[in-house]
Structure 1
Amino acid sequence: MTQLVDLKRALISVSDKTGLLELGKALADRGVELLSTGGSAKALRDARLPVTDVADVTGFPEMMDGRVKTLHPKVHGGLLALRDNPEHLAAMQEHGIAGIDLLVVNLYPFEATVAKGADYDTAIENIDIGGPAMIRAAAKNHGFVSVVTDTEDYDALLQELDANGGATGYEFRQKLALNAYARTAAYDAAVSNWLANTLDVTPRRKAVAGTLAQTLRYGENPHQSAAFYTDGQARPGVATAVQHQGKELSYNNINDTDAAVELVAEFDPKNGPACVIVKHANPCGVSQGASLVGAYQAAFQCDQTSAFGGIIALNQTLDGPTASEICKIFTEVVIAPDADEEAKKIFAQKKNLRLLTMGALPDVTAASQTIRQVSGGYLVQDKDTGQILPSDLKVVTKRAPTAQELQDLLFAWKVAKHVKSNAIVYVKDGATIGIGAGQMSRVDSTRIAARKAQDMAEVLGLEAPLTQGSVVASDAFFPFADGLITAFEAGATALIQPGGSMRDDEVIAAADAAGLAMVFTGMRHFRH
């Protein structure tokens, strides 16, 4: 296998013109002949660089709105020919095909076009055909051809040429080929997934792709390697957020911050400030108050122990008073739509605290999918975007909830949606006061949540736990009355649950006997 290949002739055809002129000049200065197409050729020519149009090489003009310009034997033959194969060399000579040693192509911006909400026909027109065909050809023939698909590889290419006297090494070309095939795979995945979503069908084959955003120090544990990939969506969140300060985000930071953002986005900023504190992907405190600092303080009082080293998400701009309160304990990450200058100055004193702003909150009602890997495959499902309105609730007990109970029940229901099953959430006055998560038994979750509320009452010096006069949300139905009775014994006065158990009548009877109000949602929120 040929190791070093002198770079004599390059074909450049790019949609993203970033760095094009600098690259073109650097190649021309090294004596490389430049071929190009359309807008790329014009840009190079306007910069007074010597360039030959591909149409002059093929003898065919660009046609059909540029759809047909590089799909020609003189292009693909120049990319695919094996330079050490006599038959290939003879064919090149017979048909006047010159070798192409470097291909620089980036594709029509299909992903960006779709992200902007383009209509169907516009999206179709932004599907590149000639680009992927040339990329695959050059990558296949990486024994002789270098292929560059990302603008961030331009400098690496020039450094490689300088290190080898105008030639590229085999290992370098192998890495470029890997990048090239990954790019075309991601591109095709974007197209196929867009079509599947547009047509509302379950495709026979599901493609998953992403762009490396960060190589992480390790995964959930130090012995696990990990990386963070983005999928190109413009949806606000941890993937699109700006980090203003603090250490690099870890695997667990990213996972927990995402959980916090998805929950805080359930609370419309127009309805008041809200704060979510997350630990190990579960909320340990949630509140909506009259002020942002008040919302944080109420969320913190739900479980001060778990809040230490947690993730905080806010639904409004972080201000100075809230920042000052947050700085009283160790916090890993704070994420908000924005942060004012006073808050930034306060946080600057905590250099390890990571501050992220995302510009806006994600739309929790927007359709999307979640993907989870299992042994031998993937589980794909629609994201849980289920919402409940007061009109959706069915009162199943003799006593209907009061206006305050109803308000707290709906709040608790939003939180329960984001707690790992089995989920039980106690709420009072717009704040969580006890959360039971991830237990195999629902009654155990009910007991744990009540016990945590009792523990916090002792910390706060209260005469009785805040569960007295609280409401309770359960992400799925109570299979027996024991969970409901446990909540009643803890002081709860009203419950919200999906209903649908074979023993619903038994559970309703227990609620009536205890004087509880209970409503059914008809919607379950399992979160495994």
Structure 2
Amino acid sequence: MAASSHKGSSGPARLAVKRALISLSDKTGATDFAKALAAAGVELLSTGGTAKALKEAGLAVTDVSEVTGFPEIMDGRVKTLHPAVHGGILAVRDAPEHVAAMREHGIAPIDLVAINLYPFEATAQRSDDPLEIIENIDIGGPAMIRAAAKNAAFVAVVTDPADYGRVAEEVAAGGVERALRQELAGKAFARTAAYDAAIAGWFAEREGTLFPERLSLSAERAAELRYGENPHQKAALYRLDGARPGAASARLANGKPLSFNNLGDADAAYQLVADLDPARPAIAIIKHANPCGVASGASLAEAHQKALRCDPVSAYGGVVAANRPLDAQAAKAITALFTEVVIAPDADEEALNIFAAKPNLRLLLTGEMRPAEGIILRSIAGGLLVQEADVAQVSEADLKVVTKRAPSPGELADLLFAFRVAKHVKSNAIVYAKDGATVGIGAGQMSRVDSARIAAWKAAEAARQAGEEVALTEGSVVASDAFFPFADGLMAAAEAGASAVIQPGGSLRDEEVIAAADEAGLAMVLTGLRHFRH
């Protein structure tokens, strides 16, 4: 069907509002808004429950069915889909043929449309009943919103209760300014796009596919950031609709607004501790998206002490994540060293008071912690890479002992811990661990043997600074996120004092690596599972 040939205009600089249609699912602020419009002499049209609420508030309201001459039918599925409504919204007021059509068919103009939609997103989150969810797919609402937004030259469209006040003020002052109408139109189209994205996502989920033919995403701007990774880059934080708890949705309970890099590190820290054994208090310290210390302990304070021991130099100015609510003891331990951000499920009153004495330290409270789920997105030039979240976990039953010596129970516990941490270290990743704590981490190297050597060197430095004569890696275990392509990386770990190794296996030289482990007296287990993190 061809579009109208009428070019139209940008409409009046200030649009006088004489007639408004209000149809709201969320009636927050509706009565006050309608009263303000009525006080400005605006005729009110409405539907169903909204009309009832406004009439009960003492307002004069014309029901849409009186305008269309047709009752609401099919349980309210059909009520506004009528030329008397859409003609009144879509008419170009300075087009003679449109004006003539309105006169011929008795269509009166509608100057303002205030609509919000059936609560599809909320219903889909709380209900497992597909029929109930489908009934909450709004049809007439999006049609009216899109019509009014398209005709923003002559109609003001309001989809957010937060905009009621300024719209009412402009109506009372003589009309809605063109700039505001255009802003509201853009906001309206963004709302219907987000609504359709949620519906498309629900249908894709019911089809059981992570990767639909067309991926529809919706995100709301939560904040404009001071800058991006560097001061010359602009940046903003967007929250994906329906996303799990995390750094993006956390409450800032203390400190100044977060930066782009703060948020990236806080997310990495959150992802790591959320993946650890929830039965034990755990702490992760992150610097530049990589862990510099991770540990579990009898308490959060003990876990922090053990994590800090791994690399106290890098921990300075880092981000700390805890896997359970913070208490005063943990808060004192964390604030003893300069820390940029702390992220945790919650904090008790004593802990909050301790953090309050550090106005520059940001405290993020997530409410809960959940491991990764769903899909992961990464932007590349001209597109998105989309993959399933790495939710795989390795248990003792998954391990295959390939050396003459099997790991001891203590080594086994540390191996599983180290491998879980390695999952959150940039590849090539090598993690040394002992007694439920990392003691050396090598991250993001082009060579796996370099990662092994760097991790051992950092552990030796940490021991030297602590005045310890024995390297932290002595008697530790070592985890590799992918197989050892040669025996040199393994031997570097053995030279550092590691006694047991966990790695995926699968190299063409596995037998050579296993023989080297046997010769060094190491215990080695294979997982058959790789954890690259690029």
CA distance in 2 between counterparts of 1:313 and 1:72 reads: 56
CA distance in 2 between counterparts of 1:147 and 1:287 reads: 54
Give the aligned length. 523
Q: Does residue 237 of the first structure (1) align with residue 243 of the second (2)? A: no
CA distance in 2 between counterparts of 1:278 and 1:410 reads: 20
Taking structure 2 as the reference length, what is the TM-score of the superposition?
0.96
How much does 1:233 deviate?
2.2
Q: Does residue 381 of the first structure (1) align with residue 387 of the second (2)? A: yes
How much does 1:159 deviate?
3.3
SS at match of 2:502: strand
Q: Which moved more, 1:405-414 or 1:106-115?
A: 106-115
- Partner residue of 1:315? 323
Within 5 A, what are the aligned runs for 1:57-456? 57-162=67-172, 165-201=173-209, 202-233=211-242, 235-269=244-278, 271-364=279-372, 367-456=373-462
CA distance in 1 between counterparts of 2:64 and 2:207 reads: 37
Within 5 A, what are the aligned runs for 1:430-509? 430-509=436-515
The match for 2:530 among 515, 524, 527 is: 524
Per-residue CA deviations over 1:244-274 (Å, capped at 9, x if unaligned) read 11001111111111111111112243x2210
| Structure 2: runs of 5 or more not aligned | 1-9
Per-residue CA deviations over 1:371-428 (Å, capped at 9, x if unaligned) read 1111111111111111111101111111111100100000001101111111111100
How much does 1:234 deviate?
5.7
How much does 1:466 deviate?
0.9
The answer (yes or no) to whether the contact 2:37–2:171 under 8 Å persists in 1 is no
RMSD: 1.2
Amino acid at match of 1:330: F
CA distance in 2 between counterparts of 1:474 and 1:198 reads: 37
How much does 1:117 deviate?
4.6
The answer (yes or no) to whether the contact 1:268–1:315 under 8 Å persists in 2 is no
How much does 1:307 deviate?
0.9
Taking structure 1 as the reference length, what is the TM-score of the superposition?
0.97
The answer (yes or no) to whether the contact 2:463–2:472 under 8 Å persists in 1 is yes
CA distance in 2 between counterparts of 1:373 and 1:457 reads: 40
- Partner residue of 1:18? 28
| Structure 1: runs of 5 or more not aligned | none
How much does 1:27 deviate?
0.7
Amino acid at match of 1:489: E
Instruction: Give the ranges of 4+ consecutive aligned residues of structure 1 lying more than 4 Å apart after TM superposition.
Output: none
SS at match of 1:318: coil
Per-residue CA deviations over 1:488-523 (Å, capped at 9, x if unaligned) read 010011111111111111111111111111111111
Amino acid at match of 2:513: V
Amino acid at match of 1:298: K
Per-residue CA deviations over 1:322-351 (Å, capped at 9, x if unaligned) read 111111111111111111111111111111
- Partner residue of 2:3? none
Per-residue CA deviations over 1:118-144 (Å, capped at 9, x if unaligned) read 332222222111111111111111111
Amino acid at match of 1:212: R
The answer (yes or no) to whether the contact 1:115–1:234 under 8 Å persists in 2 is no
Amino acid at match of 2:317: G
CA distance in 2 between counterparts of 1:504 and 1:119 reads: 51
